A and B are shown apart, each in its own frame.
Chain A
Amino acid sequence: EPEVTQTPSHQVTQMGQEVILRCVPISNHLYFYWYRQILGQKVEFLVSFYNNEISEKSEIFDDQFSVERPDGSNFTLKIRSTKLEDSAMYFCASSERGSSYNSPLHFGNGTRLTVT
Chain B
Amino acid sequence: SQQGEEDPQALSIQEGENATMNCSYKTSINNLQWYRQNSGRGLVHLILIRSNEREKHSGRLRVTLDTSKKSSSLLITASRAADTASYFCATVLIQGAQKLVFGQGTRLTINP
Contacts and interface: CB of A to CB of B under 8 A. Distances in A.
A43 B43 contact: yes
Interface in B76-112: 88, 90, 92, 94-105
B92 A100 contact: yes
Contacts of B45: 104-107
Interface of A: 4, 31, 33, 35, 41-45, 48, 50, 55-56, 58, 91, 93, 98-100, 102, 104-110
B31 interface: yes
A42 B104 contact: yes
A44 B4 CA distance: 12
Interface in B16-52: 30-31, 33, 35, 40-45, 48, 50
Contact of A56 (B31, B48, B90, B99): B99
Interface residues of B, number: 28
A45 B99 contact: yes
B60 to A, nearest CB: 18
Interface of B: 4, 30-31, 33, 35, 40-45, 48, 50, 88, 90, 92, 94-105
Contacts of B4: 42
Given A43-B102, A56-B99, A107 B42 contact: yes
Given A42-B104, A107-B42, A99 B97 contact: yes
Contact of B103 (A42, A99, A109): A42
A23 B103 CA distance: 24
Contacts of B101: 45
Contacts of A102: 30-31, 48, 50
